[in-house]
Structure 1
Amino acid sequence: MSFGDPSPFAECVRAAGAVLIVQVTDLDEARQAVDLGADVIVAQGTESGGHGARQGRSTLPFVPVVVDLAAPVPVLAAGGIADGRGVAAALALGAAGALVGTRFQATTEALVDPSTAKAIVEGHGGDTERNRVLDIARGSRWPSKYTARTLGHPYLDRWRGREAELAGDPRARQDYQRDVAQGNIPSLPVWAGEAIDLIKDLPSAADLVATLAAQAEDALTRAGRR
């Protein structure tokens, strides 16, 4: 669970016999997850693609703080991890593992439009930015605490820095829906994290997992020799 108060749902998850995994974007959320008895906590840094905290913290300093706060609950690091070196870094920070998002959008099994996978493979971290523009234009009612990191988009260029104006302009939102219907703009934003530069191919998910594990092992071995 993520992006909101997990309290009303925690018991339902447990009653279903499922593992209670709670993603957190700040220390208040992390404390709440611990108090709820989360089985696993995901510490999401601001480098992550898609939705996350508007005023969060970077993965590198955030993860070890959550690890210390949550111990002995296992913590997964999320945000800016797209290869085995990132996984190794997460382990070095004390995390039990990594939650990898954007990298798995660029796999053969990913349920995304081919244009999304292509944009991710060709994109750069500097092309991503956190914004609320596309949520507002799509009529997606996310709390103001959360923004979404996406690749560039025509409406983002048009409305950057004018979120309140866009929210109060129903005609602009209608124009967005019309442009989507006419195929003038993509139907969905390309949610992508800052580590997108590391994504250069479209492997199968199984091959990617094996590659991540091998790269992480190599990185940890190299670090151990120094």
Structure 2
Amino acid sequence: MAITTALTRLLGIPHPIILAPMGGVAGGRLAAAVSQAGGFGMIGGGYGNPKAGYGGTSWMDEQFRAAGNAQIGVGYITWSLQQFPELFDQAMERSPKVFGLAFGDEMQFAPRIKAAGVKLLCQVQDLDGAKRALDAGADIVVAQGTEAGGHGKSGRTTLTLTPAVVDIAGEIPVVAAGGLSDGRGLAAALMLGASGILVGTRFWATPEALGSDRVKQLLTLARSDDTQRTRVFDIVRELPWPDGYTGRALVNDFSRKWHGNEGALEKNLTRETEAYWTAARAGDTNTSVVFAGEGLDLIHDIKPAGEIVRTIAADAEDLLTSRAGIEIG
């Protein structure tokens, strides 16, 4: 049995699983591995901020080359493209199958994406965001709950947000995101009316993901309770996130010191920012950020991305055909 949904039909893929375009993690090699296994891979451009060491034009060229001929997409933080419009132009020249936008006004970029025949994916965290995405012509709406790693809002959970977005999306495929790491998550999302899932943290713990083996091993040892939504890593990195947005990350020495003391951090920003980037370059995870979602409890090992795609799909198929062992009557 294969799971066929509006998403699989739209993208022409066997499995309704999308790689989250995690900045600095989801490079070309990982995106290609997910797509080649039957899911859909996306390269994460993040901010396009040269200071972060990823996302710039030369970095993106490298990642597109690493993806080879695989069918992939690309995703950016929307408001960062306003600062680096050359990144949008570069991505569009590569003719990705999907262009993902998150955390900003999609209308500035949507017309050109749609005119080029590229599918527009919009990630949202509430119903107002979903309505804006639909008005912008989104072909795929990702309903991201607060359980997700990285940036989002602290309000709606995946369980409640997903069906609410489905109810207003009509025929537009809705993809659930936030804390989803295995076949149970995919099966549950489908029961909520979603057409698939977007998976982040589980794919970071793969050989194909960018980043150090130390961080990947850390993800297999950490638990959901070891994460926290916070602004301190954005403050110290001098990233101007809009009000209401926080990032879910592993708690470390830096966040223990400054979470709840953001005002003091801002007063000492020059010193702390220099120390932060020094630690980040050294791979010091006691100081630098490791974004991760609440699906950590389900991640116990480092596996090839293709194996993860196939296992999630097969396990979901088993659950859906067996009705999870539930007897009625």
TM-score class, shorter = over 0.9
1:214 to 314, 319, 328: 314
d(CA) in 1 for partners of 2:160 and 2:289?
A: 28
Preserved CA contact (<8 Å) 1:23 1:43: yes
CA drift at 1:19: 0.5
* Counterpart among 193, 199, 211 of residue 112 in structure 1: 211
Q: Which position in structure 2 is the counterpart of 1:9?
A: 109
Q: Which residue of 2 aligns with 1:149?
A: 248
Counterpart check, 1:82 vs 2:181:
yes
Question: Structure 2 stretches of 5 or more lacking a match?
Answer: 1-100
Whole-angstrom CA distance in 2 between matches of 1:179 and 1:202: 25
Name the amino acid aligned to 1:14. Answer: K
SS at match of 1:20: strand
Out of 37, 58, 64, which is 2:137 matched to?
Answer: 37
Q: How is 1:110-189 mapped onto 2 (pairs within 5 angstroms)?
A: 110-170=209-269, 171-180=271-280, 184-185=284-285, 188-189=288-289
Identity of aligned pairs, percent? 48
Deviation at 1:175, TM superposition (A): 3.1
Unaligned residue ranges in structure 1 (runs of 5+) = none
Aligned residue among 148, 153, 156 for 1:57: 156
TM-score relative to the length of structure 1? 0.93
Q: Distance in 2 between matches of 1:125 and 1:7?
A: 35
Partner deviation per Cα, 1:69-105 (whole Å, 9 max, x = no partner): 1111100000010000000000000000000111000
Aligned residues: 225
Q: Is the 8 A contact 1:21 1:42 kept in 2?
A: yes
Q: How far does residue 7 in structure 1 lie from its aligned partner after superposition?
A: 1.1
Q: Distance in 2 between matches of 1:119 and 1:10?
A: 38
Q: Determine which of 94, 98, 101 is the counterpart of 2:193.
A: 94
The structure 2 residue matched to 1:23, chosen from 89, 98, 123, is 123
Contact 1:130 1:148 in 2 (8 A): yes
Indicate if the aligned counterparts of 2:253 and 2:286 stay in contact, CA closer than 8 A. Answer: no
Q: Which moved more, 1:134-143 or 1:40-49?
A: 134-143
Q: 1:186 to 1:215 in 2, by over 3 A?
A: same
Structure with the larger RCO, 1 or 2 (CA within 8 Å, 6+ apart): 1
Match of 2:300 in 1: 200
Of 56-65 and 137-146, deviating more is 137-146
1:140-172 CA distance string (max 9 Å, x none): 222222110001221101101011321232233
TM-score, scaled relative to structure 2: 0.65
Change (3 A) 1:208 1:181: closer
